[in-house]
Structure 1
Amino acid sequence: MGTTNRTDETGLQVRRIVISGYYGFRNSGDEAVLKSILFALEEEGVKQGLRIVPVVLSGDPASTTAMYGVEAVHRMKLGEIVRALRASDGLISGGGSLLQDATSAKTIPYYTGVMKLAQLLGKPTFAYAQGIGPVNRRWMDRLIRGVMRRSAYVSVRDAESAHLLGRIGVPRDRIDVVPDPVMGLPLPASAAEVAAAAAGAPTLPVVGVSLRHWRKDGADLARFADALGALARSRAVRLRFLPFHTPSDAEASLWVMERLGDLGASVAEIAEVGDDPQLMLQEVSRCDALLGMRLHALIYAANQSVPMLGLSYDPKIDQFLNRIGLTPIGTTEALDSAAFVAAMGELLDNPAEWHSEHQAAIDQLKQEARKPAKQIISILR
């Protein structure tokens, strides 16, 4: 690799790692992925006697540097990417749903292109808890197959992703199935102080709500508003809307809030958390239950053992819920208000039963979430 003999002032060997993903776009879920990877690399590096110096490819390098205190270069400036890769000891691609063509035909060529560039420069590449698919354009299979076969380590976040890679020709015995990295994200250091300050204050049960735009006609959000309104009229709750991707999720939340109707003794509000994923994780930790459409809202809830109901708009929602023994309460095409009210009521009234059924699976995912970092650090040593 040519750059592996650096040491820091304490004598620890230093490894510079470029990290590629959907970072710098004010999406709490993707920022949480980055922060989780940074935490895991730092922790595992210390354990194995390495200091990791990350260099993040970002849509907003200044924001990324300010938030995480790491080097960042613009993800669309080829010269900056090449210089970062040349000075590095390897490239991490992930996590998140990077290798899919549902949102754009440019996504797979971009991320595989960055991996291919690193490989051409002689740098090892690592796929970190990737979500693979859907891949609807068959010509993209060879792009994915080529870079994955040449990667030093490949991990995906669900069995379906592993199956897809195997189908297109990546040897199955080279693929680790691991949880989303955010399962290992800790609360911010100030969380205990905040919790102590809030203790004793009389509050309604808090139902976290994470929604996003999906159907162009808004029929899905209208159904969700009907169901949430029915819940609010059936019992006194605090509906706390959590925008994971600003400003679009905030707009979707406000649209729904305007259509809730009479709330009775309940209240509805929107959290203003900013872009720090740990602060959003803290928000989720304060919920008594959560209704989540965003994948990372559900992952945050699992991270903090908050009982949850999921709304499916993509197979990744079903796949994650399945890993902890759950199925969606509804989809963007259908949601039965009465069934939702009954299910949410059960979570609020009997959280211990939910924990007894699902906590073991959650604990297993949290334990496994650091495996990619361990493997990557071991290879870099």
Structure 2
Amino acid sequence: MKVIHLISGGDSGGAKTHVHSLLQNLSHTIDVTMVCFMEGPFSEEARALGIHTVVLPGHNLLRTYRTLRQMIREGGYQIIHCHGARGNMMGALLRRDTGLPVVTTVHSDYRLDYLGRPFSRLTYGTINTLALRLLDYRIGVSDAMTNLLITRGFDPDKLFTIYNGIDFTPRVPALDREAYFRSVGLDADENSVVVGIAARLNPVKDIATLVRGFALAYQECPNLRLLIAGDGEQMSMLKSLAAELGVAERVCFAGWITDTDSFYHAIDINTLTSLSETFPYSLTEGARAGLPTVASRVGGVPYLIEHGIHGLLFPAGDAHSLAKHLTTLCKDPTLRRHMGERLYQRAKQDFSLESTLERQLTIYKTILRRQARKKGHRDGALVCGAYGRGNAGDDAILEAIVTELRQIDPDLPIWVLSRNPNDTRLTYRVNSIYTFAFPRFLWRMRKTHLYINGGGSLMQDVTSHRSLWFYLFTISWAKRLGNQVMMYGCGIGPIHSPANRKRASRVLQRSVDAITLRDTHSRDELIDMGVTRPDVILSADPTVILPAAPPQVVDGILESHGIDPSGKYIGFTLRPWPGFEAKAALFGAAADYAYEKYGLIPVFLPIERRLDVGAARLAAQHMKAPHYILEYTGSSDYTIGLFARMQVVVSMRLHALVFAAGQGVPLVGVVYDQKISSFLSYIGQDLYTDLNQVTVDQLCAHIDAACSRIGDTAFLSGGVERLRQVEEHNSETARRLLAADEVSGT
């Protein structure tokens, strides 16, 4: 593989470090050439690192363009990789004449690159903004940068993410903790908890907020110390501020340091207080040393540090929140250790130099694979379902479908109809159209190959007649406009209205190529409706393929809610439904019973937080036992991980049962809809009762039976393993339809 990189040659800071480190190490694997447009320290250091560097100086744009075009043609390069405004401009000019794919790495917000330089902003800034739109692919340095590009309308299918990785080879500091503190003049002993930061002392780093936050925390924790490593124009102001706040004797200004290994191995808490960042190296350097971190919630920081799990985040400029976090960590050495360990593991896995190199090579291979992809009249899939409404079950269905489609074809363009298309684009990195934007999704149907009616109980008229009519409309038009049509791991019914049953039967007969079902009741319902023409295949809910978050991450989630990770819990997932209010006290009584008899602390876990949290609070009003109500469970893997920590789960929500079943947790179902009993029967579980008929005695008896099954691996896992095996029918069917010949549209 041969790649040519184009960069101005005047870069510094993080962009310079990223490019030099990346190209130096890539050159061991592929053929890399870097072209700079000026001579200087950047190109000199690149040569010293062994990077093949060519400088094309001068301001004659046409001559530089011709030279580059000849170099690329004669050199046999396969990809043009640009960095910065001048590189992007030249890449945009070369794209058509060379026929090569052009990718750029976006190191910073291009709209802010020339702040304070109006002429440069008008010229270079405008050219760069236009050039970015003309290139084939873009790489954001951090998920935050990639998300910024998505919000500005760049195609998620043509975006990649990479991080500033560092070498995680274990470091041996030159000085131990005590010797290092002596060398910089910090008054600290073995009982001190030392907060540290390594940063330039300029306004954007906002060290003043750190000093203020430290002073507040010091009032409660007099063993705190602050070590500031760095230099800059705010040095004297910060020293005066420390004196003004009465902590000058507890704050050490070490100046600019070169021995960063000794610094990070000496301190106890790493901090970052910047007002703006992309993805700072100081975080990964602290992570390499296993340090718990307190940082401002800016740029790419939240993608490394998830609050309460890998560290603690605060709003930029908020000294009081910062002080609260410093106090929490100062008082709890166990929490410091746990957060530092979790941050180390996460950073080593996803933000190391090795992972950065692997990711860059994967991006190149993907670009070349897509370049060779056969260009046909139709390509891609359009997925429609109840997405973008904040329901964890529906979101998990979409995640599972997207995951399986990308396993079938990693380059498949995917479009999703969503009630919140911006959020869907950012979360799943797919293109998204507002659910009811009829002209847009009908136009897209003319270009896609496969239409997916995406999981869940979409074919029912209990909650709404109009939603059923809408889904039937989209299925009908997808077929008319030439798509293969699939209903993916879905449930059917109940459809009560005779007119709706007739309408649904007619559309499914005429317009659907294959239906995969998540339970046997749905198959019976289709037979009763007279649906015989599509291939009907018994499968499973697609979410059974989704994994739980790693145990250490789930520990962090629990700790962030004040829940002991080693405790024993019973999970409840309740939802408002006609008749629920009259039964709420029963659930509270059952929760008390589980605590009193088995020592299981009740935890209420929402699937659709907009509704479920209120139902949990209603039940909790009738409780005496200690309990927790989580208002949000996070992403699918976090939610599944939380259900995995329950000893027993009592649920009215189908996907709470699916998530818990997949983790081998004993289940008690409360049936408000036949899909609950259908699922439990399908996996061989028998502990369920109808909402309208449930009593305290019955619920407690089911909890007794479920508790007796704790640890019964054979019973609990058998049905779920069968589910996972038959779930493969979903992806197998999608693969077959994607390979089918195009249908002629009307």
TM-score (norm 1): 0.88
**2:571·2:603 contact (CA, 8 Å) conserved in 1?**
yes
Superposed displacement of residue 140, structure 1: 1.7
TM-score, normalised via structure 2 length = 0.46
Contact (CA 8 Å) 2:613, 2:631: kept in 1 or not? no
Larger radius of gyration: 2
Which residue of 2 is the match for residue 62 of structure 1? Answer: 422
Find the partner of 2:442 among 82, 91, 96.
82
The counterpart of 1:337, out of the listed 696, 701, 706, is 696
Partner of 2:500: 140
**Structure 1: runs of 5+ lacking an equivalent:** 1-6
1:166/1:59 CA distance change after superposition, 3 Å: same
The answer (yes or no) to whether the contact 1:54–1:71 under 8 Å persists in 2 is: yes
CA distance in 1, matches of 2:530, 2:388: 32
Partner of residue 323, structure 1: 682
Alpha-carbon spacing, 1:195–1:141, altered in 2? closer, same or farther (3 Å): closer
1:376 maps to which of 719, 734, 741: 734
Q: CA deviation at 1:78?
A: 0.7
Number of aligned residues: 363
- Higher mean C-alpha displacement, 308-317 vs 213-222: 213-222
Q: Measure the CA separation in 2 of the matches of 1:303 and 1:139.
A: 38
1:295 Cα shift? 0.5
Name the structure 1 match of 2:85: none
2-side partners of 1:301 and 1:236: how far apart?
20
Q: Residue in 1 aligned with 2:525?
A: 164
Aligned-pair identity in percent equals 25
Query: Which letter maps to 1:128?
Result: Y
Q: Summarize deviations over 1:21-40 as a string: whole Å, max 9, x none.
A: 00000011111111111111
Aligned to 2:722: 364
**8 Å CA contact retained: 1:39, 1:185:** no
User: Is 2:489–2:517's contact at 8 Å kept on the other side of the alignment?
Assistant: yes
Asked if the contact 1:56/1:71 (under 8 Å) is kept, the reply is: yes
Residue equivalent to 1:250: 613
**Residues 289, 219 of structure 1: CA spacing in aligned structure 2 closer, same or farther, 3 A cutoff?**
same
Q: Please show how residues 163-312 of structure 1 align to structure 2 within 5 Å.
A: 163-171=524-532, 174-188=535-549, 191-194=550-553, 203-216=566-579, 218-260=581-623, 262-263=624-625, 267-274=626-633, 276-312=635-671
1:139–1:339 Cα change, 3 Å? closer
Residue number among 92, 95, 112 corresponding to 2:452 in the alignment: 92
Q: In 1, Cα distance between the equivalents of 2:497 and 2:658?
A: 29
Moved over 6 A (4+): 196-199
Residues 19 and 55, structure 1, Cα contact 8 Å, conserved in 2: yes
Q: 2 CA distance for matches of 1:231 and 1:52?
A: 48
The letter of the residue matching 1:361 is G
Q: SS in structure 1 opposite 2:693?
A: coil
CA contact 1:57–1:74 (8 Å) conserved in 2: yes
C-alpha separation in 1, matches of 2:538 and 2:580: 37
Flag structure 2 segments of 5+ consecutive residues without an equivalent.
1-365, 740-746
Structure 1 residue 137 displacement after superposition:
1.1
> Which has the higher relative contact order, 1 or 2, with Cα contacts under 8 A spaced 6 or more apart?
1
25, 43, 49: which one pairs with 2:389? 25
Q: Deviations over 1:205-243 (max 9, x none)?
A: 111110001125611222222222222233322211001
Amino acid of the structure 1 residue aligned with 2:692: E
Q: CA contact under 8 A between 1:227 and 1:337: conserved in structure 2?
A: yes
For the aligned residue pairs, the C-alpha RMSD in angstroms reads 2.3
Q: CA deviation at 1:196?
A: 7.0
Q: Distance in 2 between matches of 1:168 and 1:346?
A: 37
Deviation at 1:83, TM superposition (A): 2.2
Give secondary structure in 2 for the equivalent of 1:148: helix
Q: Does the 8 Å CA contact 1:208/1:241 hold for their aligned counterparts?
A: yes
Q: Secondary structure at the match of 1:247?
A: helix
Q: CA offsets per residue over residues 109-147 of structure 1, 9 Å max, x none?
A: 100101111111111111111211111111122332233
The corresponding residue for 2:402 is 38
Deviations 1:297-328 (A, max 9, x none): 00001111111111111111110000121234
Shift of 1:173: 7.6
